[in-house]
Amino acid sequence: MLELIHSIVNSEEHIDLHQFLHQLRWQNKSYLLRNDILDAFNDYCKSLQKPESFRNTSQVSKLIYHTQEIILENETCCLVVRPRIGHQQVFHIAEDLQVEPMSVQELLDLRDRFVNRFHPNEGGIFEIDFHPFYDYSPVIRDFKNIGKGVQFLNHYLSSKLQESQQLQEKLFKFLSLHNYNGTKLLINQHIQNHQQLSQQIKLALDFLNSYSPTTPYTEFRFELQDKGFEAGWGNTAGRIQESLELLDGLIDSPDHQTLETFLSRIPMIFHIVLVSLHGWFGQEGVLGRPDTGGQVVYVLDQAKNLEQQLKEDITLAGLDILNVQPKVIILSRLIPNSDGTRCNQRLEKVYGTKNVWILRVPFREFNRKLTQNWISRFEIWPYLETYTIDAEKELLAEFNGKPDLVIGNYSDGNLVAFLLARRLKITQCNIAHALEKSKYLFSNLYWQDLEEKYHFSLQYTADLIAMNAANFIISSTYQEIVGTPESAGQYESYKCFTMPELYHVVDGIELFSPKFNLVPPGVNESYFFPYTKTDERFYSECDRLENLLFNLEDPNLVYGKLDNPNKQPIFSMGRLDRIKNLTGLAECFGKSEELQERCNLILVAGKLRIEDSADHEEASEIEKLYRIIEQYNLHGKIRWLGVRLSKSDSGETYRLIADCQGIFVQPALFEAFGLTVLEAMISGLPTFATQFGGPSEIIQNGINGFYINPTRLEEMAQVILEFVNKCDHNPDYWLRVSQQAIDRVLKNYTWKIHTARLLSLARIYGFWNYTSKENLQDLYRYLETIFHLVFKPRAQKLLAQHIQR
């Protein structure tokens, strides 16, 4: 980018760059983000009547396109440029267009000055820099491969196995470690080193050739033990032969595919902890309460399917003879004043499972007025260290030993996962779901102004600790990590930032680390399945739900009576908050008379009355929705259901809309993933979803769904109308998009795919962690230093405030 800027400065275009920067100084803003910059550039081009070629292909336009921030200071400006995904450059441009690169430290100092929090005469500021700690680890080079960490790691490990006798010995020792409740697995004392292992594998393979592939392991178990091989290789002669051939190949001529397939078979995961700490966590009566929703649904579905996958893996490994029983525990918080929910129960079995439990551990009673009740996710930080100590004891008792894997959810759960993993020396996986830092603009810059309400200094410090400590990180989408060519990702926002007067993050996360992996969640196929599966549908509920959707007149449940219930339905379902933007969809519908003539709008959106909501933002959106209905006179054309549907009702509702050849619209201003998008698509509904965030990776535009820009309402209406018109001219068009939506989900977004991939990752990163653990100690000490010197004092300060309440 420096070459591009120099090229501009040394060409006729330097006049345009100079005039554009000069024009920016006359605006009210001194800190411009990308959208501001693009708008200002369009205004500049319009005011000077610049040709289209200049706007789109000039060198100045290319620079503007890649500029993420412009900070104006005195007669100079700073350009933060993102030439490609995962990379950032910073330049200082003087009034006379003299250009100099700026260091990260200089950029952070400038941002501090912008908010008047810079004190150069009072010494330096604590700098956090994780870059040196990734020197031990291989790093992905091509940004297109970010999120494919395990593939990269397998290539790296297999090449090292080929080169290093030491790593082969580590593989032997790793296989020798495994046991279940004290019973040896895989390799016994008859094999003492990796050379002997290679010899015995060949003897075992010759022995297995005399058996039919379907011969049960129990028929030759003791003969294999004499050769040094215990249970865990397979349940039949054929399966064991496959496993030993894979290992033989790894020893003689390792390759990445063999390594992944082999490590994915190792029986090393039996007991799993899922940490979902904040909010009301339960199976009934919790959805719709503060800090719950998609997280509860996700974790419950994940836990159930992990148990099922573990059972399958245990059977295939031949461990039924040892009566190996998997166990999954969802670790959450016990809330004594549980308001009619089961959140005051220590232990609750998860429905439809054999050995999946919700284990609730209380916060210690520092102030019973607080700790006896639910505490907001923004306020729980002072309790997490003592909670971890108490939870560790409870988990050891429930598992009768250590778990094998801990999976954190959200910032608080990931911090507890880090603390548990350090204490128990087990593999740690992080799932962020959504990082708050991306939601609140400039929240790190103005953290002191927001601290009393949000305590971002604690949350962002916890995020930095947990994401760098994790052995592997699961992301639902590529964008979650590094965004798009136009915008930075959620994790990328932690790469470089300042918390003025607290610390500077010079390098907060290695985005090219192989710890990042894309493993999107699945859709629960027990409730959400195609409308065409007539033999599986809940027809006993159809009449009730159909009446609710189209005809029922009950002011407590429904607002709006449809003049013509037979019109094609436009359907949406979600929370009434600003980001979900259901009011934006209503306004889009209101602005398009043609849409109103052709379709009805049906919304399932929580509450109908302002007085029923304790959430300020929800109350504001309720008021806004009523205002839109009146403004555009939508009476008879819109139906608003103030209900919260169960999973089974939600699934049948999607299918009833599909029966009417309706469509589903997800109009969020930003969506980290988009579970409702999956639910609608697998039901067979042509789906229109926001282009901002995860849905743009789920949907293939124009094939199995459609992108919409929720900030451009007329354009959004036009996209929907084009589909409706195509369906009129070609009745098979709706059916084609519907079937392609179903196929897309079944191929890529099932819980079976998710859990199999997650357990494969846990095994592979478990091996990687074992082979590189000596190199990780410096990182862990650094993380503990940040925890004890930054996080803990601030948490104790907040606790002191809680005690006084």
pLDDT at 119: 67
Tens digits of residue pLDDT in 151-177:
999 999 999 888 778 888 999 999 999
- Hey, what CATH class is 2-102 in? alpha beta
The answer to whether 669 touches 579, Cβ cutoff 8 Å, is yes
Q: How much is the average pLDDT of 667-676?
A: 88
In sequence order, what are the residues at sequence separation of 6 or more whose Cβ sits closer than 8 angstroms to the Cβ of residue 511?
86, 146, 481, 482, 489, 491, 492, 495
Rounded CA-CA distance 460/467 in Å is 11
- Report percent pLDDT > 90 for the chain: 82
Q: How much is the average pLDDT of 383-402?
A: 97
Task: Tell me the pLDDT of the chain averaged across its residues.
Answer: 93
Tokens 């054929």 identify what position?
238
Model confidence at 614: pLDDT above 80 = no
Q: Name the CA dihedral angle for 20, 22, 27, 33, rounded to a multiple of 10 degrees.
A: 50
Higher pLDDT, 633 or 771: 633
- What would the 3-class secondary structure string for 30-70 be? CEEEHHHHHHHHHHHHHHCCCCHHHHHHCHHHHHHHHEEEE
Pairing of strands 568-573, 599-604: parallel
Model confidence at 268: pLDDT above 70 = yes
**Residues of each domain in the chain carrying CATH 3.10.450.330:** 2-102
Rounded CA-CA distance 705/666 in Å is 11
Q: How much is the average pLDDT of 310-326?
A: 96
Tens digits of residue pLDDT in 691-722:
988 899 999 999 999 999 999 999 999 999 99
121 pLDDT band, cuts 50/70/90, is low
pLDDT at 122: 66
The answer to whether 682 touches 745, Cβ cutoff 8 Å, is yes
Higher pLDDT, 737 or 287: 737
pLDDT at 772: 86
In sequence order, what are the residues at sequence separation of 6 or more whose Cβ sits closer than 8 angstroms to the Cβ of residue 297?
287, 524, 647, 675
The answer to whether 447 touches 391, Cβ cutoff 8 Å, is no
Q: Which of 235, 263, 267, 249 is CA-nearest to residue 201?
A: 249
Model confidence at 436: pLDDT above 80 = yes
Model confidence at 120: pLDDT above 70 = no
**Residues of each domain in the chain carrying CATH 1.20.120.1230:** 150-263
- Report percent pLDDT > 70 for the chain: 99
Model confidence at 616: pLDDT above 90 = no
- Residues pairing with 101 in the sheet: 91
In sequence order, what are the residues at sequence separation of 6 or more whose Cβ sits closer than 8 angstroms to the Cβ of residue 407?
272, 273, 274, 275, 417, 429, 430, 431
Rounded CA-CA distance 696/701 in Å is 8
Q: How much is the average pLDDT of 94-122?
A: 88
Model confidence at 305: pLDDT above 90 = yes
636 pLDDT band, cuts 50/70/90, is very high
Q: Among 118-132, 236-250, 389-403, 575-589, whose mean pLDDT is lowest? A: 118-132
- Give me the count of residues in the chain: 805
Model confidence at 275: pLDDT above 90 = yes
pTM: 0.91
Q: How much is the average pLDDT of 630-654?
A: 93
Tens digits of residue pLDDT in 239-265:
999 999 999 999 988 999 999 999 999
**Residues of each domain in the chain carrying CATH 3.40.50.2000:** 271-522+754-804, 534-749
Assigned token pair, 732: 């098979």
Strand, helix or coil at 183?
A: strand
Assigned token pair, 244: 């030993």
Q: How much is the average pLDDT of 411-437?
A: 94
Instruction: Supply the DSSP string of 599-668, one letter for each residue.
Output: EEEEEE-S-S-GGG---HHHHHHHHHHHHHHHHTT-TTTEEEE-----HHHHHHHHHHHHHTT-EEEE--
User: How are strands ordered across the β-sheet holding 127-129?
Assistant: 127-129, 503-507, 497-499
Alpha helices in 348-490, H assignment, sequence order: 368-371, 384-399, 410-424, 436-439, 447-454, 456-469, 478-482
CATH architecture of 150-263: Up-down Bundle (1.20)
CATH architecture of 534-749: 3-Layer(aba) Sandwich (3.40)
Assigned token pair, 450: 């927001």
pLDDT at 414: 98
Alpha helices in 95-180, H assignment, sequence order: 104-114, 149-163, 165-176
Tens digits of residue pLDDT in 451-487:
999 999 999 999 999 999 999 999 999 999 999 888 8
Q: How much is the average pLDDT of 729-735?
A: 94
Assigned superfamily of 271-522+754-804: Glycogen Phosphorylase B; (3.40.50.2000)
